[in-house]
């Protein structure tokens, strides 16, 4: 089990909350876990703890703290609206600076990886393309990937998309990314929708989540 603490942004000195967990057994590296639009909720907490159980020191930044410290939201219409509002009002460069502060906090102990879901999937792709120092990245169903498909990753990165995701056209995203970056693997999970790694019963597709995580582990192990 991890715990909450504070970390200072390198961009503006703001102290934001992070949820951080120490690795179980031999340390395989560090991983920055980037939230969905719902904040550092129970699902992200469990995901950080899961990464720690797999041997990674894991840390998740609370990216809306400048607007609403400690924000979390349910997966209902009100929560969705609040999360989208915060995501859209948070400058991407600001969010990436907080992600980079998390990377720096882990860097002295070895390689650092990045993984993110939904909002965090978009930020993972942007972090892999715009930030230095990550060893590899794994992006899950990020809605901004297609619009930024012409960017070039600075580290190995893979993408995960659900065929049944009504908001993200999987084939179009894959075509756009591979038109500019043919070496980037884009995996489409035929039975999965948006948020298939989230443990919410209405979103989770366990088989797809397990396969995506194994592909991510293999990427990190080889980076």
pLDDT in tens, 161-208: 999 999 999 999 999 999 999 999 999 999 999 999 998 888 899 999
Catalytic residue among 43, 86, 160, 194: 194
Mean per-residue pLDDT over the chain, rounded: 96
Catalytic residue among 41, 98, 100, 165: 165
What pLDDT shows up at residue 18? 98
What pLDDT shows up at residue 199? 86
What pLDDT shows up at residue 135? 98
Domain range annotation of the chain: 3-222
Q: Is 102 a catalytic residue?
A: no
Give pTM, 2 decimals.
Answer: 0.96
Is 3.30.420.10 the CATH number for 3-222?
A: no
What pLDDT shows up at residue 54? 96
Catalytic residue among 65, 98, 118, 155: 118
Q: Is 165 a catalytic residue?
A: yes
**Which residue, chain included where needed, has tokens 């190995």?**
156
What pLDDT shows up at residue 67? 96
Q: Is 194 a catalytic residue?
A: yes
Residue 150: partners with Cβ closer than 8 Å, 6 or more residues away:
180
Mean pLDDT in residue range 55-69: 97
């Amino acid at each position: 089990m991890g715990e909450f603490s504070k970390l200072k942004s390198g961009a503006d000195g703001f102290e934001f909350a992070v949820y951080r967990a120490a690795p179980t057994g031999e340390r395989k590296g560090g991983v920055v876990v980037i939230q969905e639009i719902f904040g550092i909720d129970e699902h992200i907490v469990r995901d950080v703890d899961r990464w720690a159980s797999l041997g990674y020191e894991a840390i998740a930044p609370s990216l809306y703290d400048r607007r609403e410290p400690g924000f979390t939201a349910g997966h209902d219409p009100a929560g969705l609206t609040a999360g989208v509002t915060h995501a859209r009002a948070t400058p991407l460069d600001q969010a990436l600076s907080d992600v980079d502060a998390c990377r720096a906090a882990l860097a002295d102990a070895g390689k650092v990886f990045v993984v993110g879901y939904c909002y965090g999937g978009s930020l993972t792709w942007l972090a892999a393309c715009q930030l230095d120092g990550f060893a590899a990245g794994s992006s899950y169903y990020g809605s901004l990937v297609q619009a930024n498909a012409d960017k070039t990753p600075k580290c190995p990165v893979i993408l995960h998309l659900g065929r049944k995701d009504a908001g993200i056209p999987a084939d179009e995203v894959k075509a756009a990314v591979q038109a500019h970056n043919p070496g980037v693997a884009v995996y489409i999970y035929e039975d999965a929708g948006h948020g298939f790694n989230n443990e919410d019963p209405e979103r989770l597709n366990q088989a797809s989540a397990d396969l995506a995580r194994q592909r991510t582990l293999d990427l990190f192990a080889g980076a």
